[in-house]
Amino acid sequence: MIQNSTIDWIEDGQDCSAVWHSENGIAAHKKVVTADDTLTADDAYHLACEGTAILWRGDFQNARQLLQALVRRVDKPSKKSQRASKRFGKTGEIASQKSVKDIFNQHRLIQSQRARILGMLLIQCNPDHTISLRRAPDISVACHEAYGAATQSYVVSLRELLGVISAHEWRKNGLPILADGDGEPVYVYPHYGVFSPVRGEYIELVCNATLPKALDTNNIAFDIGVGTGVLSIILAMREVEKIIATDQDDRALACAKENIALLNLDSRIEIVKANLFPAGKASLIVCNPPWIPARPSSTLEHAVYDPESQMLKGFLARLKDHLSPQGEGWLILSDLAEHLELRTRQELLRWIEQAGLAVLGRADTKPKHPKVFDDSDMLYFARAAEITSLWRLGIKH
C-alpha cells in the first residue's frame, strides 16, 4: 500500500497537491491533468495510454461511464491478441510452438497494462471520505471501513474506489457459504482486501471430507491462513471443539474475528496472528494456500498468487512438527499451476515426501466459476482442465 506520498497537479493556474492513496502500491502519477464532462472517451484513452492521469472534476456518474468506455477500448481484441488466442483450441491443445508459460506471462502483462490504463482516472476525496462532485454517492462508510480515518484530502483511482464500494456491499449483505442444521443459510461478511470465498468447490470438499479419528482423543484443529474465517466456521459446525486460526494480514484477522463473533463461535475459535502455524499440535490442520506461483500485482491477488509457492512449501515443510499422532493435514489446492506449467505434479509430490509426509487420500472436484466456461479467455485451455483437490496428508512412518 502507498499512502502519505503526494500527488501534484496544476488547476486554474495554481499548484495543487493532495495525499496519494494506492492499495496496490502504485506510485503517485507524475503527469496529471484535470478534466470534466467535456472530455471524450477517445481523448481520455489516449491520455491514459501515454501515461497521463486524469483528475476528474465533472459529474461522478459520468466518470463511471467514462471508465466503462475505457474498459471497452482496452478490452477490444487487438490483431496480436486474436492471433495469440488461435494458438489454443477448445480442447486446450496448443496449436503452435509457443510455450504455455509464455502464454501465461503474456496474459499477466496484458492484465498489468489493462490495470495501469484503467487506473488513470482519479477522484479526489475529502478528509471525511466524501466526494465534492455532482451525483457522487455517500462513500464515507465504505472508505472508513477500507482505509480507516483520514486527516487530509486524498486522491485515489476511480477503479480502486469502485472496488471499495463493492467490498462494502459484500460486507453489508454477506455471502452464503452453506446451510446450518435447520437448513438456514450461514453467511460470512468479507472485508475490503480479504479474498471472498466465492469459489464454493473448496468449501464443499471440507464439508464432505471424513474427519480424522485423531479428533476423538484430541479435538483440536488449526486453520492456516484464515481469511474470512470460512473454513474455521465449517470445522466448528462439524463439531470440532477447538480451532486455532492464523493469518499475517490484519484485515483478514479483523474480518475472521467479526464473522466468528456474529455466529457466536468465538469461544471455540481462537484467532492468532502468526506466520503459518501457531504453537502446539493439532489432530487436523487445514490450509488453502495461493495456488499460482507468480508475483501478485494487487492486494487481493495475494490470495491467488504466491511467488515460488512459498506458503505451500512452508506449510508442507512444517506440517509434520504440528500434527498429533494419527493426525491429518488437509491441503486444499487447485492444479491450475500445473496446466500453466508453473509447477508440476512431480514437484508437489516431492515436496510432500521431503517433508516426511504421506498422501492418505485425495478428493477432487471441478471448479464452477464463470471463467471455466469462457472460451474467449486466453487461459481457457488451463481453466477448462482445472481440478481442485483436498489432499489428506499424514506423517510418513
pLDDT tens-digit readout, 210-231: 999 999 999 999 999 999 999 9
**CA-to-CA distance for 379 and 102, rounded, in angstroms?**
11
Distance of CA 368 to the CA centre of its chain: 17
Beta-strand ranges (E) seen in the chain are 2-11, 14-22, 32-35, 53-56, 121-125, 154-157, 175-179, 185-188, 220-224, 242-247, 269-273, 282-287, 323-334, 357-365, 388-395
How many Cα neighbours within 13 Å face the side chain of 56?
30
> Phi and psi at residue 21, in whole multiples of 5°?
-125, 125
pLDDT at position 89 is 45
Q: At what angle do helices 41-49 and 100-118 cross, to 10 degrees?
A: 120
**CA-to-CA distance for 237 and 225, rounded, in angstroms?**
19
Distance of CA 283 to the CA centre of its chain: 29
Query: What are residue 179's DSSP bridge partners?
Result: 185
Distance of CA 287 to the CA centre of its chain: 15
pLDDT at position 97 is 57
Residue-wise burial string across 33-44, b where 16 or more C-beta atoms lie within 10 A, e elsewhere: ebbeeebeeeeb
Name the nearest CA neighbour of 345 among 320, 328, 362, 325.
362
Grid cell digits, residue 366: 471441478
Whether 188 and 177 have beta carbons less than 8 Å apart is answered as yes
* Residue 66 burial (C-beta neighbours within 10 Å; 0-12, 13-18, 19+): buried
* Residue 222 burial (C-beta neighbours within 10 Å; 0-12, 13-18, 19+): buried
How many Cα neighbours within 13 Å face the side chain of 196?
19
Whether 282 and 322 have beta carbons less than 8 Å apart is answered as yes
Distance of CA 159 to the CA centre of its chain: 16
3-state secondary structure of 220: strand
Distance of CA 331 to the CA centre of its chain: 18
pTM of the complete model: 0.89
Q: At what angle do helices 41-49 and 60-75 cross, to 10 degrees?
A: 60
Identity of the residue numbered 148: G
**CA-to-CA distance for 288 and 391, rounded, in angstroms?**
11
pLDDT at position 297 is 78
Spell out the domains of the chain, with CATH numbers in brackets.
2-170 (no CATH), 174-395 (3.40.50.150)
Identity of the residue numbered 237: M
Whether 74 and 114 have beta carbons less than 8 Å apart is answered as yes
Whether 19 and 153 have beta carbons less than 8 Å apart is answered as yes
Whether 60 and 122 have beta carbons less than 8 Å apart is answered as no
Identity of the residue numbered 115: A
Listed as ranges, residues in the chain with pLDDT below 50 are 1, 78-85, 87-95
Collect all residues with Cβ–Cβ distance below 8 Å to 350 and sequence separation of at least 6: none
